[in-house]
Amino acid sequence: MRRDGAGDLRYELTRPGKKYIIATDRAAGRVRVEGERTGLGNVVASLHGHSGELPGSNFMLAWGFYTEATT
């Protein structure tokens, strides 16, 4: 999340398969929401424990293999 000098906020929100960017424009009294699909691979990865929050983590890599092997 970031706030600029005018007090406007910009932040990202993610869920499996979709990423949102939310930005405020206080001067205009508006909020802009942009959505972007991240694809089926992202959905599968998030369902199997890897959300990308820990990039390069050996644990997350091992967890992905573990969940695939056990399901």
**For every one of its 71 residues, what pLDDT tens digit does the chain have, with 9 covering 90 and above?**
889 988 899 999 888 888 999 999 999 999 999 999 988 877 777 766 655 555 555 666 777 788 788 88
Q: Return d(Cα 49, Cα 63) in angstroms, integer.
A: 7
Token pair of 5, please?
Answer: 């000098």
Residue 12 has a CB neighbour count (10 Å cut-off) of 12
User: With a threshold of 0.75, does the pTM exceed it?
Assistant: no
Domain boundaries along the sequence of the chain: 1-38, 40-71
Contacts with 7 (C-beta within 8 Å, 6 or more apart), sequence order: 26
Give the residues across from 2 on adjacent strands.
10
Closest CA to 36 of 55, 51, 21, 46: 21
